[in-house]
Amino acid sequence: MQVEQTFVMVKPDGVKRGLIGPIITRFEQKGFTLAAISLRSIDRALAERHYGELKEKPFFGELVSYLTSGPVCAMIWQGEHAVENARSIIGKTNPVEATPGTIRGDFAMDIAGNIVHGSDSPSSAEREIGLFFGSGAGAAAAASTVPTHLI
Ligand code: DAT
Ligand code: MG
């Protein structure tokens, strides 16, 4: 089996609403293994880098303000097809379109507060894991934080 890692983040409103536990439960029930977790605040520079590809979007300023408005819960989850499986249980970007049974479908109402992030590709996952868990060195740095019995 090829183990893949993905980056998942409970956004500030998810943390404020006490949804870290239910979101972790969804990932565990699906079959993912938790490889790293960090409750932390993020500054504007990190938020802007994380969502760098959206910087021309009209909602970018609002998005960065939202992401820096309170603590987030950053996580690395691993398993087969981790990126695609995570996107599947997270649901569509706009909660209005997210199917009931998905995290956004069950817990969110508004696109600007869709409570959870999941990487959209293996290369995004590597980049985001490096941003949040590495020292700019990419996934290799994050992988070193994973207890060996989980690999
Ligand atoms: P996703 O989070 O599903 O990967 P994305 O990468 O396209 O979606 O956008 C990142 C976040 O930006 C998204 O979770 C919520 C916010 N966003 C996207 N489109 C938006 C819009 N039209 N208005 C307000 N916020 C938006
Ligand atoms: Mg995205």
Q: Is 117 assigned a catalytic role?
A: yes
Sequence-ordered list of residues with C-beta below 8 angstroms from that of 50, at least 6 positions apart, any chain: 42, 67, 128, 131, 132
Domains of the chain by residue range = 4-139
- Nearest Cα residue to 37 out of 12, 79, 73: 73
Ligand 1 geometric centre to CA of 59 (Å): 9
Sequence-ordered list of residues with C-beta below 8 angstroms from that of 56, at least 6 positions apart, any chain: none
pLDDT digits (tens, 9 = 90+) for 82-126: 999 999 999 999 999 999 999 999 999 999 999 999 999 999 999
pLDDT at 144 over 90: no
Atom of ligand 1 nearest to the CA of 87: 3
Hey, is 133 helix, strand or coil?
A: helix
> Which two three-digit tokens encode residue 44?
């504007």
**Ligand in nearest proximity to the CA of 90:** 1
The answer to whether residues 74 and 9 touch, using CB atoms and an 8 Å cutoff, is yes
Percent of the chain at pLDDT > 90 equals 87
Instruction: Tell me, rounded to whole angstroms, the distance of Cα 95 from its chain centroid.
Output: 16
Ligand 2 geometric centre to CA of 82 (Å): 15
Please tell me the class of the 4-139 domain.
alpha beta
Complex ipTM above 0.90? yes
Ion ligand 2: residues, CB < 5 A: 120
Ligand 2 geometric centre to CA of 120 (Å): 6
Instruction: Tell me, rounded to whole angstroms, the distance of Cα 24 from its chain centroid.
Output: 11
pLDDT at 29 over 70: yes
